[in-house]
Amino acid sequence: MQKLIANKEDTEQVFQIIEALNGRSQVANLQAFASIEAGRHLLKRREHLPPLLDDHSWIRVLPEGTVGRAYVDFMEREGLTARGLVEESEKMGRAGSRFDDDLQWFGHRLRDTHDLFHVLSGYSRDALGEACLLGFTYSQNPGRGVIFIAYMAARQLTKNLPKEARVMDCLWEGKRNGKLASKIVREDVIALLHEPIEDARKRLNIRRPVAYLNALKVCAEGGIAASDINPGKPALNNTKAAA
């Protein structure tokens, strides 16, 4: 966790923490997934998402305002690929990665849809946005490792950001929004990419992240850019950080 706080881009640490703390929660999440018809259908198809998501040529031709167009805009703006997350997770060299079973497929699906969660939920890739998204993700697919990272990151950010940003309120909002929303992992991802993004958010009951957006506004007014929101060090120009 200290390594992750020092460098929020060190994604390998996320997978290490989740592996250490999640216990059997992934089994319970898979059982819930497989208990509904949509989940069983997806398990039967066993679609491998990274090649589909990284082929932006077909997604780019989708209409403006669709989930797919928002996704490729986000990925290209941030310099991300779905394959990049795969590579980070494979650095661990877990023995379980040698097995081609339903549990591994489900874990990969959660990993491969992480950036789609960003796009749909409205949480960006700044450190506060990542913490809030993990709160959202925890409510969608519970795991102690996920909420541990979210809480520890938010706790550290309370020391570095203005009190008016109300960092913990942002985290709890993310957790609530994830609980209220339909399970994104159960969606047909390719069909979802074709859907207008506002229609998809309404259908999935994904609430606007009001507290988070207000926190970004507070930070901006204090001269703190989103790129300067970092749990590892005080934000630049921060004169009103929490004690």
Angle formed by the axes of helices 82-90 and 11-21, nearest 10°:
60
Q: What domain range includes position 154?
A: 2-228
C-alpha 149, offset from chain centre = 12
Q: Which residues pair with 196 in a beta bridge?
A: 66
User: Given its phi and psi angles, is residue 242 left (phi above 0), alpha (psi -120 to 50 degrees) or beta?
Assistant: beta
Look at residue 179 and tell me if it is in a domain: yes
C-alpha 23, offset from chain centre = 20
Q: Please give the pLDDT value at position 237.
A: 53
Whole-prediction pTM: 0.89
C-alpha 99, offset from chain centre = 25
Look at residue 46 and tell me if it is in a domain: yes
Count the Cβ atoms, other than its own, within 10 Å of residue 203.
13
Q: Please give the pLDDT value at position 121.
A: 98
- Which positions of the chain have pLDDT values less than 70? 92-100, 233-243
Look at residue 233 and tell me if it is in a domain: no
Tokens (6 digits) for 123:
């949480």
Look at residue 36 and tell me if it is in a domain: yes
Q: Please give the pLDDT value at position 100.
A: 66
Split into its structural domains, the chain has a count of: 1
